Structure 1
Amino acid sequence: MPGMQRDMADAHGRTNGNIGNRADSPNGVEPAETLDVVVVGAGFAGVYLLHKLRKAGFNTKIIEAGAGLGGIWWWNAYPGARVDSQYPIYALSLPEVYEDWNWSSHYPDHVELRAYFEHIDRKLQIKKDTVFNNKVVRATFDESEDMWFIECDTGRTFKARHFIACLGFAAKRHFPDWEGLDSFQGEIHHSSFWPHEGVDVKGKRCGVVGTGATGVQITQEWAREIGEEGNLKMFQRTPNLACPMNQVFLTEEEQKKDKETYPELFNQRWQNYNGFLYQYRPEMMFEASEMDRNELFDTLWKMGGFRFLMNNYFDMTRELKANRLAYDYWHDRIHERVKDERKAELLAPKEPPHPFGAKRLSLEQDFYDHFCRPNVDVIDIKTNPIVAFEPNGIRQQDGTIHELDVIALATGFDSITGGFKNIEIRGLGGEKLSDKWKMGTYTYLGMTTARFPNMYFTYGPQGPTAFSNGPSCNELQADWMVSLIESMKKNGQTRIDPKKENEMNWKTMVNELALKGVRGHTDSWYNGANIPGKPREALNYAGGIPAYIKAISLERDEQYPGFDLQ
């Protein structure tokens, strides 16, 4: 089963005989490298933090499991992988980076994003302080020295006063427990471990399992690549309520003019709920006439992107009657494009599978149009689930076998917290973070957790994270961390630990905020429902970027009253 063996091995972590040998002991291979700060992960947050910490005078290095910069965008090489945050804010706000970089479009693809990170390196020299091809497997807090001891799968070790985990929310891929997964004799890959050289599907029988944003992108791309002789089946449990991307291509002249307003735009994103350049409108849906509602819906639909979801009436994602009007409009637009009645009803059922926007939707370009073709189909696995993988394909509960040559697993991730539990992280008294979070997640400010001193995380649990534009969230959290570390150095402090009562209060608030919108009442990876046995809880801060900035700024300005400092 070419490809899958490597995917499964990497999914469970590489192994190395040096793991467990402290490298600063006589038996170690080499002494631990001592730093001020260790950053794990070389995505947007990691490279921004390294740049800011070096400027502040801290000896810092990034440890990265991959072979290049970009974080998820180094791994995301699957067909159709493309950003869905609109130009120009899915980027670093640093003038020295954007002044001589031009994008090809509003929504660049994975190839362009990897090129962008190479550009970041040319401007900021990130690679010289990045340790590639090293997966952190263990992080232990040494109470006698107030230092973190970091161990990698290669045997390399590091000691640092501060440990920042920039793992992203999709650091641990998920493989459902299907019978016979290893028996498939064709080519199979999980989306997060796609070969950078690509996969040839022309003229082949192909299957895509999963209909999240990734599944939509792969299906859309493969439908173009299979040709007339190939065949494509998308295995769907829950339809994705995808909206049109309406891609816009850019010229250098346009961007040169746009850059004059970049500082203003980057500041504006922090004034809007999701960290985008637009947000929900103050008007209520039923205050408008039917004609005005339809006119707004048409306008947002034509503008594309997430505007139909995020730039709509205030109550669209908060009140079910208003939400249903948005769903019905979406349903009608899809049925206009998919002419096959059976396929159309599966892709866009008359009755909503869940409220519109309650699960993460995708942006599509010509996804729905491909289902008008006889060689592109959608297979219902909600009422007739997959029960096994066979050597020649996939078997459903009713005995139907779909013979396939190539399979893409777009089965998602143990999102938000999975990456943390994949590392053995030990705090005070040797407590394991995975044990602390086993029955529920506890953080303070979505950046720290009690009894794990001097440990911080970006774009993680109980922060704005999946409810925000990534770089917007990462930069504001990173700036807060750098300011804290500077303050500790100035005051001669070596340990900071959030107070237990404050993380309890933060968790309560995060749960209460989640229930104010439709997302808080719907099972999805937003609340851990996609992983068997994972606690169902609010994993994202739903108060919006401005309120989040207010909360973390107050903590900083009042000199960190929510923490024990020593």
Structure 2
Amino acid sequence: MSGIEERIATPALDLDVLIVGAGFAGLYHLHKLRGLGFNAKIFEAGSYLGGAWHWNRYPGARVDSEGFLYQYSNPDLWGDFSFTERFPGGDQLRSYFKHVDAKLDLSKDILFNKRVASAHFDAVANRWTVEAEDGTIVSTKFISMCIGQSSAVHIPPAIKQTMGEFDGPIVHTALWPEESLDWAGKRVAVVGTGSSGIQVIQEVAKTARELTVFQRTPPIAMPLKQKYFSEDELVEEKKSYPANFAAVRNRFGGSEYDPFGPTAHAVTEEERNAVFERLWDRGGFSFWLGGWDDVLTDEVVNRWYYDFWRKKTLARIKNPKVAEILAPAEPPYPFGTKRPCLERDFYEVFNQDNVELIDIHANPIERITRNGILNSDGTERAFDVIILATGFDAVTGNLTRVDFHGTADQTLKEKWADGSSAYLGVATHGFPNLFFMNGPQSLNVICGGPSCQERNGDWLADCLVYLRENDIARIEATPESEIAWDAETDAHGAATLFPRADSWYMGTNISGKKKKILFYAGGQVLYYARLQECAANGYEGFVLTPADELDTADVVAAGSHG
């Protein structure tokens, strides 16, 4: 017997469920399944729990959801913990996860520093053999992938292929070192102006000798309007927590904002601008999500939003040429169809004499050099520190980087090479007993916070209980249900303006990735109704294989078993 065969024959663990990822989704799932009597463990790539917030240590990192909703709804957890900021920073979030760990005793069932490398499904035993990068092997009946939508770091090829030549520190915001970086008095480059780019730019600009920002696409960033709470204010706010947690379940995207109305066409220009002003003054994503429903479906309404945003933004930028790069007269994409950002003084940064903005859409980065960055126009700029805020291979990259082998003669990456598909966003044909939290064609983008992770976790836990009670050994999405869900997801996307943008929402930030909407744009209420409909009909759309039929390989279609 070879070494690998011996290790597979004697795995380190034999589980009911292996959960991958110890962020909001994975921790909730672990707590829920333990309470239901499942033998469940978590593989976590980091050295501690917290998911993205274990890794998000770059300066200025903070969540863009309001703190009262960016936590579990369990009163035992929020009753004696408080976020002191409207939009909590990374340090407060890491403190929150430590609090959750202490309350629920989660770490005892988490294996840290375990990044999954591969998983092979045994069609005879109906079990997965999972191997971590360090060689640890476990056998598990089910896998629940709870690794978030933004964990597969993306570095553009021109940078990735040459970054090793740079004679200084170069770091991606999602891989920030715990000891941080020293940029005070130095020449610093920041590549990217998405959410993390904006946050780190605002901090670096305070003390860097020179800051050069390389921007491909202008972000639509809105004022954060941060607030700090007193003890009395926190006591008062918590009185509304139960109602707030209940209300968020009935909103389209699971956000803290109620829309103003169905269409902006129903009011006069004066009335519309008055509403815009009120939303703008509230800060956060109020302007984006607290206005009219048709902002993402009606081109005229969408342009009204953009023009108002641009007018507000231009007033803050002194240099007209810089202003045109940051807030162009013609929208580079429909308002809100690329991930909007929140900012504190991002636009004022570009009024500083020591800050330069480079438009790499017009003048792309050709390579990283020993001294710094070379652009296609032949200009080389020297730096002491390079910071990459270049985003992620979102939604699918975190799944396809695992070498999944299912029942067919192909890997998951090979199956999704021409576009991803997952029935209900939770499972894909050919990979039985494998579940996705925040997978492609789920709510991922529009409802990725704790409230939706709890609902996703509850649905999957109910499913696993059903399988256990009915002695079902295998569950697998049918090709027909997957195709139908794919069509439904595409139809909802086509009814919006999202396909008009090249964004990670559509997968177009990754070279060679098919342009395809990666989330279910039908909204939260409809999505969870579809999940419940599936469950109520005996997990319709899946094929279930009872344990007593394994030898004959007979299958029982969902809804036809007793």
Q: SS in structure 2 opposite 1:450?
A: coil
- The change in CA–CA distance for 1:19 and 1:165 in structure 2 (over 3 A counts) is farther
Residue 61 in structure 1 maps to residue 41 in structure 2: yes
After superposition, the C-alpha distances for 1:155-205 in whole angstroms (9 at most, x for unaligned) are 211111111011111121111111632211121101111011211111111
Structure 2 CA distance, aligned partners of 1:240 and 1:22?
A: 52
Structure 1 CA distance, aligned partners of 2:57 and 2:3?
A: 30
CA contact (8 A) 2:144 2:434 kept: yes
- Determine the structure 2 residue equivalent to 1:176: 156
CA contact (8 A) 1:276 1:469 kept: no
Residue 447 in structure 1 maps to residue 426 in structure 2: yes
CA contact (8 A) 2:427 2:434 kept: yes
Structure 2 CA distance, aligned partners of 1:223 and 1:377?
A: 11
CA contact (8 A) 1:515 1:521 kept: no
- Determine the structure 1 residue equivalent to 2:316: 337
CA contact (8 A) 2:422 2:439 kept: no
- Determine the structure 2 residue equivalent to 1:555: 534
**Pairing partner for 2:194 from 207, 212, 234:** 212
Q: What one-letter code is carried by the residue in structure 2 that aligns with 1:23? A: R
CA contact (8 A) 1:19 1:154 kept: no
CA contact (8 A) 1:102 1:252 kept: no
Q: What one-letter code is carried by the residue in structure 1 that aligns with 2:192? A: G
After superposition, the C-alpha distances for 1:401-443 in whole angstroms (9 at most, x for unaligned) are 2111111011111111001111111111453111111111121
- Correspondences of 1:467-546 after superposition (within 5 Å): 467-546=446-525
Structure 2 CA distance, aligned partners of 1:381 and 1:349?
A: 15
After superposition, the C-alpha distances for 1:205-224 in whole angstroms (9 at most, x for unaligned) are 11100111111111111112
- Determine the structure 2 residue equivalent to 1:307: 286
Flag as ranges the 4+ runs of structure 1 deviating above 4 A. Answer: 18-22
Q: What one-letter code is carried by the residue in structure 1 that aligns with 2:132? A: C
- Determine the structure 1 residue equivalent to 2:348: 369
- Determine the structure 2 residue equivalent to 1:564: 543
Q: Return 309-318 or 65-74, whichever deviates more.
A: 309-318
Residue 37 in structure 1 maps to residue 21 in structure 2: no
Structure 1 CA distance, aligned partners of 2:223 and 2:538?
A: 46
- Determine the structure 2 residue equivalent to 1:202: 184
Structure 1 CA distance, aligned partners of 2:169 and 2:472?
A: 54
CA contact (8 A) 2:261 2:291 kept: no
CA contact (8 A) 1:68 1:74 kept: yes
- Determine the structure 2 residue equivalent to 1:185: 167
Structure 1 CA distance, aligned partners of 2:16 and 2:187?
A: 53
- The change in CA–CA distance for 1:469 and 1:65 in structure 2 (over 3 A counts) is closer
Q: What one-letter code is carried by the residue in structure 2 that aligns with 1:388? A: R
Q: SS in structure 1 opposite 2:543?
A: strand
- Determine the structure 2 residue equivalent to 1:352: 331
CA contact (8 A) 1:459 1:473 kept: no
Residue 411 in structure 1 maps to residue 390 in structure 2: yes
After superposition, the C-alpha distances for 1:239-293 in whole angstroms (9 at most, x for unaligned) are 1010111011112322223223322211211100110122433342122111111
Q: What one-letter code is carried by the residue in structure 2 that aligns with 1:522? A: A
- Determine the structure 1 residue equivalent to 2:103: 123
Per-residue deviation at 1:314? 2.0
Q: SS in structure 1 opposite 2:374?
A: strand
Per-residue deviation at 1:387? 1.0
Residue 395 in structure 1 maps to residue 377 in structure 2: no
- The change in CA–CA distance for 1:494 and 1:182 in structure 2 (over 3 A counts) is same
Aligned Cα root-mean-square deviation (Å): 1.5
After superposition, the C-alpha distances for 1:421-474 in whole angstroms (9 at most, x for unaligned) are 111111114531111111111211101111211111111211010122422222
Residue 288 in structure 1 maps to residue 251 in structure 2: no
Structure 2 CA distance, aligned partners of 1:322 and 1:20?
A: 60
After superposition, the C-alpha distances for 1:131-156 in whole angstroms (9 at most, x for unaligned) are 00111111111111111111111221
Per-residue deviation at 1:19? 9.3
Structure 2 CA distance, aligned partners of 1:453 and 1:139?
A: 12
Q: SS in structure 1 opposite 2:429?
A: coil
- The change in CA–CA distance for 1:197 and 1:356 in structure 2 (over 3 A counts) is same
Structure 2 CA distance, aligned partners of 1:411 and 1:456?
A: 28
Q: What one-letter code is carried by the residue in structure 1 that aligns with 2:323? A: A
Residue 99 in structure 1 maps to residue 79 in structure 2: yes
CA contact (8 A) 2:438 2:448 kept: no
Per-residue deviation at 1:21? 5.0
CA contact (8 A) 1:426 1:452 kept: yes
Structure 2 CA distance, aligned partners of 1:202 and 1:19?
A: 51
CA contact (8 A) 1:236 1:381 kept: yes
Residue 149 in structure 1 maps to residue 117 in structure 2: no
Q: SS in structure 2 opposite 1:208?
A: strand
Structure 2 CA distance, aligned partners of 1:395 and 1:284?
A: 47
Q: What one-letter code is carried by the residue in structure 1 that aligns with 2:285? A: F
Q: SS in structure 1 opposite 2:190?
A: strand
CA contact (8 A) 1:19 1:151 kept: no
**Pairing partner for 2:358 from 379, 386, 396:** 379
Q: Return 65-74 or 555-564, whichever deviates more.
A: 555-564
- Correspondences of 1:206-245 after superposition (within 5 Å): 206-226=188-208, 230-245=209-224
CA contact (8 A) 2:66 2:88 kept: no
- Structure 1-normalised TM-score? 0.93
- Determine the structure 2 residue equivalent to 1:463: 442
Structure 2 CA distance, aligned partners of 1:110 and 1:499?
A: 41
Structure 2 CA distance, aligned partners of 1:366 and 1:157?
A: 48
After superposition, the C-alpha distances for 1:30-80 in whole angstroms (9 at most, x for unaligned) are 633111110000000000000000011111100011101011111111111
- Determine the structure 1 residue equivalent to 2:558: none
After superposition, the C-alpha distances for 1:69-109 in whole angstroms (9 at most, x for unaligned) are 01111111111111001121111112221111110111111
- The change in CA–CA distance for 1:19 and 1:77 in structure 2 (over 3 A counts) is farther
- The change in CA–CA distance for 1:469 and 1:246 in structure 2 (over 3 A counts) is farther
CA contact (8 A) 1:459 1:470 kept: no
Structure 2 unaligned blocks of 5 or more: 546-562
Structure 1 unaligned blocks of 5 or more: 1-17
CA contact (8 A) 2:150 2:392 kept: yes
Q: What one-letter code is carried by the residue in structure 2 that aligns with 1:194? A: W
Structure 2 CA distance, aligned partners of 1:111 and 1:430?
A: 45
After superposition, the C-alpha distances for 1:461-497 in whole angstroms (9 at most, x for unaligned) are 1101012242222211111000000111111111111
Paired residue total = 542
Structure 2 CA distance, aligned partners of 1:524 and 1:280?
A: 24
